[in-house]
Amino acid sequence: MSTFKDKVSERLSRMFADPPSSASSVVDDEIPQARSYSKGGKSLSSYFSYIIPSAGVAGSRSYKCELSVPLSNVNFDSKDETLDTYEDCHSSGENGVTENDRENDDDHASIGSTSGSEVFEEATLQSSSEKQLAYLMDDSVFISSDLHEFLLSSLPNIVKGCQWALLYSTAKHGISLRTLIRKSAEVSGPCLLIAGDMQGAVFGGLLEAPLKPTAKRKYQGTNQAFVFTTIYGEPRLFRPTGANRYYFMCLNDLLAFGGGGNFAICLDGDLLSGTSGPCETFGNLCLAHKPDFELKNVELWGFTHASRYLS
């Protein structure tokens, strides 16, 4: 009996004296489903050792998938959690691009397209304005892009396409009608007088150059003459009505357009003041803000085919 007890004690002692690895082996043998899948000495988890979760754009999760061995060597008969992970890595889009990324890209593209369209439109308008004002060889106090376009369409065909040369300006040459008359001799044919009052009205008319002052009040010019103003919200032109031939008058101390009732425009010899009122020649209304006005500036423009104009 004691011998049997000794044998049992010895066996139990040997059992409890085995290292933990032996116990682990016993557990693995008894519970085969707890084993990791292996083939050729490698576990299935090693095939997916490169499936690494990483932080995506704007807080979204994306996965980078790289396989070190062909998938053909892996047994997919049984579903494994690692396979779910492999599928999830494509849910955020190809190349790690999420749906949010696509939406953000679309928004940026839309904004860029709109901005580009606005820039293109502004450049087109600026180019058109520069093209219209390219006829002016000098800067003007009065001529805007709109007024320039309006006057271009009103000029006689003989001067259309010509360069506009500033013959005289009170800002540049001083206040003197005699200087204006003298400077008008630098061209021949039509010339354009542009003046303005202190309230912002811009008005003027077409003359014949060179100006030739007369000793007595005597009208000159042809039916190509006209007068214009901007006080009605947009440029407005008045051409001869045929009632008379009082186109313009030039004296050493007076320059006037029209007649029959009033002068359409009359400037005094020092170019500081003038008058305007309805006249029969052009059928116009008052061209300034008031019948009696103070002049802000006066310009006289001539037309030339030369690419350069020397004053």
Q: Is 31 exposed, middle or buried (0-12, 13-18, 19+ CB in 10 A)?
A: exposed
Query: Considering only CA atoms, which of 220, 147, 23, 39 is closest in space to residue 155?
Result: 147
What's the pLDDT score for residue 76?
44
Cβ distance 269 to 253 under 8 Å? Answer: yes
| Triad 273, 277, 280: Cα angle to 5° | 135
Which stretches does DSSP call E strand in the chain?
A: 38-39, 42-43, 52-55, 61-64, 163-169, 189-197, 202-209, 219-220, 227-229, 236-238, 248-251, 254-257, 265-268, 273-275, 292-304
Tell me what pLDDT residue 133 has.
74
pLDDT averaged per 10 residues in sequence order, the chain, 311 residues: 66 60 42 42 44 43 43 46 42 48 54 51 48 80 94 93 94 94 94 96 96 95 97 95 97 97 96 97 97 97 70 43
Identity of the residue numbered 139: D
Q: What is the pLDDT of residue 68?
A: 43
pLDDT (tens digit, 9 = 90+) per residue, 252-283? 999 999 999 999 999 999 999 999 999 999 99
- Is 168:183 a contact under the CB 8 Å cutoff? yes
Domain boundaries, the chain: 2-96, 135-304
pLDDT tens digit string along 28-85? Answer: 444 444 434 444 444 444 444 444 444 444 444 444 444 444 444 444 444 444 444 4
